[in-house]
Amino acid sequence: MALSEKTRAEAREIIARYPQPRSALLPMLHLCQAEEGYVTPDAIALCAEELGLTKAEVAAVATFYTMYKREPVGDYHVGVCTNTLCAVMGGDAIFAALKEHLGVGNDETTDDGKVTLEHIECNAACDFAPVVMVNWEFFDNQTPESARQLVDRLRAGDPPMPTRGATLCTWREAARVLAGFYDGRADEGPSAGPETLVGLKLARERGDSAPAMERGAE
Amino acid sequence: MNLTPVLSANWDQERSWTLDAYEAQGGYQAVRKALAMEPDAVIQLVKDSGLRGRGGAGFPTGNKWGFIPQGDGKPHYLVVNADESEPGTCKDMPLLLASPHTLLEGIVISSYAIRANQAFIYVRGEVLHIVRRLQAAVADAYAKGYLGKGVFGTGYDLDVVVHAGAGAYICGEETALLDSLEGYRGQPRLRPPFPAVAGLYASPTVINNVESIASVPAIVAGGADWFRKMGTEKSPGFTIYSLSGHVTRPGQYEAPLGVTLRELLDLAGGVREGHRLKFWTPGGSSTPLLTAEHLDVPLDYEGMQSAGSMLGTKALQIFDETTCVVRAVQRWTEFYAHESCGKCSPCREGTFWMVQIFDRLERGTGTEEDITTLLDVCDNMFGRVFCALGDGATSPVVSSIQYFRDEFVAHFTERGCPFDPTASTLFAAAGARG
B164 in contact with A at a CB cutoff of 8 Å?
A: yes
Point out the residue among B166, B182, B426 whose CB comes nearest to the CB of A65.
B166
Q: Mind listing the pLDDT tens digit for each residue in B61-88? A: 999 999 999 889 999 999 999 999 999 9
Point out the residue among B85, B98, B426 whose CB comes nearest to the CB of A90.
B426
- Quick one: pLDDT at residue A1? 65
- Quick one: pLDDT at residue B433? 39
Helix ranges (H only) for B182-260 are 195-198, 210-222, 224-228
Residues 296-325 of B with CB under 8 A from A: 315, 317, 319, 323
Where chain A has pLDDT below 70, the residues are 1, 215-218
Q: Mind listing the pLDDT tens digit for each residue in B212-239? A: 999 999 999 999 999 999 999 999 999 9
Interface confidence: ipTM more than 0.95: yes
> For residues B228 and A41, what is the distance between their CA atoms, to the nearest angstrom?
56
> For residues A58 and B185, what is the distance between their CA atoms, to the nearest angstrom?
10
Best B2, B74, B90 residue to mutate vs chain A (most A CBs within 10 Å): B90
Q: Mind listing the pLDDT tens digit for each residue in B358-417? A: 999 999 999 999 999 999 999 999 999 999 999 999 999 999 999 999 999 999 999 999
> For residues B308 and B61, what is the distance between their CA atoms, to the nearest angstrom?
24
B133:A210 CB<8 A: no
- Amino acid, res. B345: S
Q: How far is A5 from chain B (nearest CA, A)?
A: 23
User: First CA to last CA across chain A, in angstroms?
Assistant: 61
Q: Can you say whether residue A153 is alpha, beta or left, with left for phi > 0 and alpha for psi between -120 and 50 degrees?
A: alpha
* Contact residues, chain A, for B267 at CB < 8 Å: 199, 202
Best A85, A94, A134, A149 residue to mutate vs chain B (most B CBs within 10 Å): A85
Question: Dihedral, CA atoms, A55, A56, A61, A64, nearest 10 degrees?
Answer: 130
* Contact residues, chain B, for A87 at CB < 8 Å: 331
User: Are residues B101 and B213 in contact, defined by beta-carbon separation less than 8 angstroms?
Assistant: no
A23 in contact with B at a CB cutoff of 8 Å?
A: yes
Helix then strand count (H, E) for chain B reads 17, 9
Q: Can you say whether residue B416 is alpha, beta or left, with left for phi > 0 and alpha for psi between -120 and 50 degrees?
A: left
- Quick one: pLDDT at residue B133? 98
Q: Mind listing the pLDDT tens digit for each residue in A84-130? A: 999 999 999 999 999 999 999 999 999 999 999 999 999 999 999 99
> For residues B298 and B273, what is the distance between their CA atoms, to the nearest angstrom?
25
Where chain B has pLDDT below 70, the residues are 429-434
Point out the residue among B221, B254, B421 whose CB comes nearest to the CB of A92.
B421
Give the chain A residue whose CA is nearest to the CA of B128: A136
How many Cβ atoms sit within 10 Å of the Cβ of residue A196?
28
User: Are residues B79 and B122 in contact, defined by beta-carbon separation less than 8 angstroms?
Assistant: yes
User: Are residues B218 and B30 in contact, defined by beta-carbon separation less than 8 angstroms?
Assistant: yes
Q: How many residues does chain B have?
A: 434
A17 in contact with B at a CB cutoff of 8 Å?
A: yes
> For residues B314 and B337, what is the distance between their CA atoms, to the nearest angstrom?
23
Is the preceding omega at residue A162 within 30 degrees of 0, hence cis? Answer: no
| DSSP helix/strand/coil, B271 | strand
Contacts of A158 (CB under 8 A, 6+ apart): none
Describe the strand order of the beta sheet including B159-164 as a list of residue ranges.
Answer: B159-164, B118-123, B77-82, B205-209
A113 in contact with B at a CB cutoff of 8 Å?
A: no
How many Cβ atoms sit within 10 Å of the Cβ of residue B339?
23
How many Cβ atoms sit within 10 Å of the Cβ of residue A146?
17
3-state helix, strand, coil in chain A (%, to 5): 45, 10, 45
Question: Dihedral, CA atoms, B57, B60, B64, B65, nearest 10 degrees?
Answer: 140
